[in-house]
């Protein structure tokens, strides 16, 4: 490895670490507690966190514009008193994710704002994103169980509970309990 390559890698790593420090300092002033081992990959400034938000270790939060359409910016808006557990994957790249206040996001949850098309005309890695299903809205006082997945273009209503391991393919009405793959109504909350 040449000295120039080593210098560029070191500079890039330093710059990434500096961006993380600046972002974490900004979030701390807003009352957000982000575990030092969480990764905040924000190339867009289209995000807002409420007071009392907690982000667990090894969670990956990403806010980036859409790779195919830079005008289509991603966004992440988190309400007050939201708990985001460990090992979560929250990707607001090219779509907007909104999480309502008092929501609990358990461990290993995936919230993906956009998905790729699956046409046969080109390799999967070269597929553009699906334009008509973007973003996720998680209502107020929602509990997302460990390991659940919420797909793009959906809304999880206020007070809903998503069971551990569920894959949410359709919008969830308020105060419903959904579980399974694909997630279906189990019952309504009393």
The pLDDT tens digits for 6-39 are: 466 676 777 777 777 787 787 777 778 887 878 8
DSSP letter string over 147-159?
A: T-EE-TTEEE-TT
Which residues partner with 186 through β-bridges? Answer: none
Name the pLDDT band for 121 (thresholds 50, 70, 90).
Answer: confident
Residue tagged 């972002």 (tokens)? 23
Query: Is the whole model's pTM more than 0.85, yes or no?
Result: no
8 Å CB contact between 185 and 178? yes
Domains and CATH numbers, the chain: 31-188 (2.160.10.10)
| 3-state SS assignment for residue 140 | coil
**Catalytic one of 116, 184, 187, 189:** 116
Counting DSSP H helices and E strands in the chain, the numbers are 1, 19
> Distance between CA atoms of 40 and 58, rounded to whole angstroms?
10
Listed residue (67, 64, 92, 65) closest to 78, CA to CA: 92
Strands 47-49 and 75-78, by their bridges, are parallel
Q: Determine the pLDDT at residue 68.
A: 63
Q: Which two tokens stand for residue 129?
A: 């994103």
> Distance between CA atoms of 185 and 173, rounded to whole angstroms?
9
Q: Is there a catalytic annotation at residue 116?
A: yes
Strands 83-84 and 104-105, by their bridges, are parallel
- Dihedral angle computed from the Cα positions of residues 148, 151, 156 and 160, in that order, rounded to the nearest 10 degrees: -20
8 Å CB contact between 24 and 30? no
8 Å CB contact between 172 and 183? yes
The pLDDT tens digits for 157-167 are: 999 999 999 99
The pLDDT tens digits for 37-47 are: 788 877 767 78
Listed residue (166, 173, 185) closest to 139, CA to CA: 173
Flag whether pLDDT at 147 surpasses 90. yes
Q: Taking CA 16 as the corner, what is the angle to CA 76 and CA 111, rounded to the nearest 5 degrees? A: 25
């Amino acid at each position: 490895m040449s000295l120039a390559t080593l210098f560029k890698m070191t500079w890039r790593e330093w710059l990434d670490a500096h961006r993380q420090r600046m972002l974490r300092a900004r979030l701390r002033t807003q009352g957000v507690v982000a575990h030092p081992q969480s990764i905040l990959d924000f190339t867009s400034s289209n995000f807002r966190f409420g007071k009392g938000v907690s982000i667990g270790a090894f969670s990956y939060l990403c806010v980036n514009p859409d790779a195919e359409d830079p005008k289509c910016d991603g966004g992440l808006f988190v309400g007050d008193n939201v708990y985001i557990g460990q090992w979560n994957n929250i990707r607001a790249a090219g779509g907007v994710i909104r999480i309502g206040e008092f929501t609990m996001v358990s461990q290993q949850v995936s919230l993906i704002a956009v998905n790729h098309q699956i046409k046969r005309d080109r390799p999967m890695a070269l597929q553009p994103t699906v334009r008509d299903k973007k973003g996720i809205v998680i209502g107020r006082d929602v509990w997302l169980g460990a390991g659940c997945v919420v797909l793009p273009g959906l809304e999880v209503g206020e007070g809903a509970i998503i069971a551990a391991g569920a894959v949410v393919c359709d919008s969830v009405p308020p105060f419903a309990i959904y579980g399974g793959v694909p997630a279906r109504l189990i019952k309504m909350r009393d």
